[in-house]
Amino acid sequence: MDVPEPLVTIRSYSAPEFATADREALLEAGIPAYLGGRSYRYQEAVDLRVPESHVAQALAVLGEPRPEEDLLQGAVGPDSNPIRCPLCLSAAVIPQPPYLLWVLLIGFATAGYAFTVRWLLATAVTVVATMVIAARIEQRTPKWRCLRCGHASKDEPRPNDR
């Protein structure tokens, strides 16, 4: 029994239409191509994969990525400064949702309501609790996450130096 050839991800897309179009172009050129999907926190990504022996041929058929393809490989444009994951060097890095902002908004809105109905003790307790919870969230939640390897960190990802 032959072991199948490993597949290599040559591009990742945030829009499946572009991935499908590139897969069709590869199939028309006689190159086997496959799509694989993954999602993390409502961020969808579609990988275009080809067998290891066809990588160079596939990249030649596809050419340079077009800006409208919205590739996850990094930001497109002369003024962009794509960032990379320190572990896998992928440019598919996304910021985490602003949990701290939501906690502060809800906490201070609750304190404001308590103040308007003259519950002064409840207002003070709510403000203190909001600040304590916000400090804990700031300490414990990562600032960004890599879509490729799943690494999350509070440190800023490094700029693309390639």
**82-130: pLDDT as tens digits:** 567 777 666 677 777 788 888 999 999 999 999 999 999 999 999 999 9
Query: May I ask the CATH class of domain 7-73?
Result: alpha beta
Question: Quick one: pLDDT at residue 109?
Answer: 94
Give 66's pLDDT tier (boundaries 50, 70, 90).
low
Question: Quick one: pLDDT at residue 75?
Answer: 36
Contact between 81 and 157 under an 8 Å Cβ cutoff? The reply is no
Neighbour count for residue 44 (Cβ, 10 Å): 14
* Residue of higher predicted confidence among 70 and 52: 52
Strand, helix or coil for residue 10: strand
Question: Quick one: pLDDT at residue 44?
Answer: 65
Domain residue ranges of the chain, discontinuous segments joined by +: 7-73, 94-159
